[in-house]
Chains A and B, each alone.
Chain A
Amino acid sequence: MKAYGNLKEKFIYMFIWLGAAFVAFTLLTIIAYVFVKGIGTISWEFITAIPSRMGKEGGISSAIVGTIYLTVVALLISTPLGIGSAVYLTEYQKRNSRFSRAVEMSAEALSGIPSIIFGLFGFIFFVIFLGLGWSILSGGLTLAIMILPTIMRTTQEALRAVPEEFRSNSLALGASKWQTISKIVLPSSAPGIVTGVILSIGRSVGETAAILLTAGSALGMPLLPTDPARSMSVHLYYLAAEGISMERAYGTALLLIVMILIINYLANLSLRRFTYRLKS
């Protein structure tokens, strides 16, 4: 009986080990593949020059700027809204009130909608109806709606993880509700909130479909929020789909991956520094 149990243990251990190894292997393979295919294209010019001849020549600087621009606009809009609504629902509403359930269900449904539908909505509403045209603003707003549920839900989870004693201790010291939230609850939940924002940044940077229909595909350097722009992922899509240049598509993909890795690294760093300050 015991031998059988041991065998079973070993088998299951093997199985989950393989699962974990497969995840790491897949990621490394993709990164390595893109790296090998794309590294030849990367040059100072590729990073700093504006694309010419539809991207066949020149660089991708305007797409890099477009990507950052769109993401920043999306974050500026969705972070305060997402955190604000999460604070309202978690701290000011009863846990299972009809209103908070309705908002939570909407957020959940919203996060399950395919991004092309956000793109379509953004196109009809921001681009056409509000007359914002193909622009950073239209694209950023569309992205903001798309990532809002993620920020809201992760903030809610983070707020719920704050021990109830922190709140009661603060209130028992005579602090007001808002003092308690701003000085105790939000700082304690910051690591979780930051994680949600990072996930959203990752999603914005990599998003294609929602931007394709709302920010346009201009190759020029975007300056004003009303300028049209293309993001790196959209640029990548055109390069590959229209057969303009596969090498340059891989080069763009490599830069995109590097950018996301850098964002994750920086976010982890700030997160660790933050938790370090709390724990030591």
Chain B
Amino acid sequence: MSLYKIQAKDVCLFYHQEQALFNVNLNIEANQVTALIGPSGCGKSTFLRSLNRLNELIEGTTTTGEVLIDGVNIYDNDTDVVKLRKEVGMVFQKPSAFPMSIYDNVAYGPRIHGITKKNTLDEIVERSLRQANLWEEAKDRLTSSGLRMSGGQQQRLVIARVLSVNPKVILMDEPASALDPISTAKLEDLISELKKEYTIVIVTHNMQQAARVSDSTAFFLSGHLIEYQPTERLFVNPGDKRTEDYITGRFG
């Protein structure tokens, strides 16, 4: 067994004839925040989605190569995708609470996975909301609709919903891009807390954010992984000219 939580080996992704990822090799350590950066269309989100096989929902995509999570290839034929997606949770760009109560939003995951006991659900809901730093704001209004919350609260609600099914890895696809600065700060604090228990991979357009929250950063360009370094080194002393050009704002 390796030290790495996630190992991507020669991951290629094709959308019909078009290739979107070229032999990406990336090892991600447990209990770390790994940031994926790069200009729009560079493949960073696509790579993120290959870690829970979400690309499969788009017609016409083929993935080759291996992604090992805890040493097990998730692209094996006998992989249980439901179990995989439970273990690898995902937070999307647009905060989207389901149109139901705050409680039901968080209980949704456990319920579809067969938990029906009220006590157990109550515990899971409270624990997940506490972990997502939302309990204090939500505890008196658990029965009111999740849609009534602000964008920042909804995004933390989404995180609570992801935490409710006990993931090992949390993927975040530009989770703060629709949030105001204060909500973003709260979200970043939360990410730093969550990494104690979870492995987090985050796609971001905001380089300051990558610098603030992540331990390692991977720079993507045109479907290729260009550089992967501890965040500080990548930002202070990039090893590749293209990385330097990007982080100094020469393109992107």
Chain A residues with a Cβ under 8 A of chain B? 94, 163, 165-166, 168-176, 179, 183-184, 187-188, 277-280
Most buried by A among B99, B100, B147: B99
- Asked whether, in the complex, the Cβ of B85 is within 8 Å of the Cβ of A172, the reply is yes
Contact residues in A for B84 (Cβ distance below 8 Å): 174
- Asked whether, in the complex, the Cβ of B86 is within 8 Å of the Cβ of A174, the reply is yes
Interface residues of B in 73-103 (CB under 8 A from A): 81-86, 89-90, 92, 94, 96, 98-100
Q: Digit string of B44-77 for contact with A (CB within 8 Å is 1, else 0)?
A: 0000000010100101000000000000000000
Of the candidates A168, A170, A171, A280, the one whose C-beta lies within 8 Å of that of B108 is A170
Whole-angstrom distance between the Cβ of B56 and the nearest chain A Cβ: 10
Whole-angstrom distance between the Cβ of B128 and the nearest chain A Cβ: 12
Contact residues in A for B162 (Cβ distance below 8 Å): 173
- Asked whether, in the complex, the Cβ of A279 is within 8 Å of the Cβ of B59, the reply is no
Whole-angstrom distance between the Cβ of A102 and the nearest chain B Cβ: 19
CA distance A165 to B84 in the complex (A): 19
Given contacts A165-B94, A168-B54, A173-B89, 19 further A-B contacts (CB under 8 A): A163-B96, A166-B96, A168-B92, A169-B158, A171-B54, A171-B57, A171-B85, A172-B52, A172-B85, A172-B90, A173-B85, A173-B108, A173-B162, A175-B108, A175-B109, A188-B98, A188-B99, A279-B147, A280-B144
CB closest residue in chain B, given A188: B99
Contact residues in B for A94 (Cβ distance below 8 Å): 59
CB closest residue in chain B, given A277: B145
CB closest residue in chain B, given A173: B109
Quick check: is B233 within 8 A (CB to CB) of the other chain? no
Quick check: is B196 within 8 A (CB to CB) of the other chain? no
Of the candidates A169, A171, A279, the one whose C-beta lies within 8 Å of that of B96 is A169
CA distance A181 to B174 in the complex (A): 26
- Asked whether, in the complex, the Cβ of B148 is within 8 Å of the Cβ of A174, the reply is no
Contact residues in B for A176 (Cβ distance below 8 Å): 82, 112
Contact residues in A for B147 (Cβ distance below 8 Å): 278-279
CA distance A184 to B98 in the complex (A): 7
Contact residues in A for B90 (Cβ distance below 8 Å): 169, 172
Whole-angstrom distance between the Cβ of A193 and the nearest chain B Cβ: 14
CA distance A280 to B108 in the complex (A): 18
Contact residues in B for A187 (Cβ distance below 8 Å): 99-100
Contact residues in A for B52 (Cβ distance below 8 Å): 172
Whole-angstrom distance between the Cβ of A138 and the nearest chain B Cβ: 41
Contact residues in A for B54 (Cβ distance below 8 Å): 168, 171-172
Contact residues in B for A278 (Cβ distance below 8 Å): 99-100, 145, 147
Quick check: is B168 within 8 A (CB to CB) of the other chain? no
Q: List 25 A-B contacts (CB under 8 A).
A: A94-B59, A163-B94, A165-B94, A168-B54, A169-B92, A169-B158, A169-B161, A170-B108, A171-B85, A172-B90, A173-B108, A173-B112, A173-B162, A174-B82, A174-B84, A174-B86, A175-B108, A176-B82, A176-B112, A183-B108, A187-B99, A278-B145, A279-B145, A279-B148, A280-B144
Contact residues in A for B85 (Cβ distance below 8 Å): 171-174
CA distance A278 to B82 in the complex (A): 28
Whole-angstrom distance between the Cβ of B173 and the nearest chain A Cβ: 10
Whole-angstrom distance between the Cβ of A188 and the nearest chain B Cβ: 5
Interface residues of B in 135-191 (CB under 8 A from A): 144-145, 147-148, 158, 161-162, 165
CB closest residue in chain B, given A168: B92
- Asked whether, in the complex, the Cβ of B96 is within 8 Å of the Cβ of A165, the reply is yes
CA distance A187 to B108 in the complex (A): 13
Contact residues in A for B212 (Cβ distance below 8 Å): none
CB closest residue in chain A, given B85: A174
Contact residues in B for A168 (Cβ distance below 8 Å): 54, 57, 92
CA distance A226 to B69 in the complex (A): 64
Q: A172-B52, A173-B85, A174-B85 are in contact. Are A165 and B92 (CB under 8 A)?
A: yes
Q: Digit string of B99-133 for contact with A (CB within 8 Å is 1, else 0)?
A: 11000000011001100000000000000000000
- Asked whether, in the complex, the Cβ of B145 is within 8 Å of the Cβ of A280, the reply is yes
Most buried by B among A176, A183, A187: A183
Whole-angstrom distance between the Cβ of A166 and the nearest chain B Cβ: 6
Q: A168-B57, A279-B147 are in contact. Are A174 and B109 (CB under 8 A)?
A: yes
- Asked whether, in the complex, the Cβ of B158 is within 8 Å of the Cβ of A175, the reply is no
Contact residues in B for A172 (Cβ distance below 8 Å): 52, 54, 85, 89-90, 92
Contact residues in B for A173 (Cβ distance below 8 Å): 85-86, 89, 108-109, 112, 161-162, 165
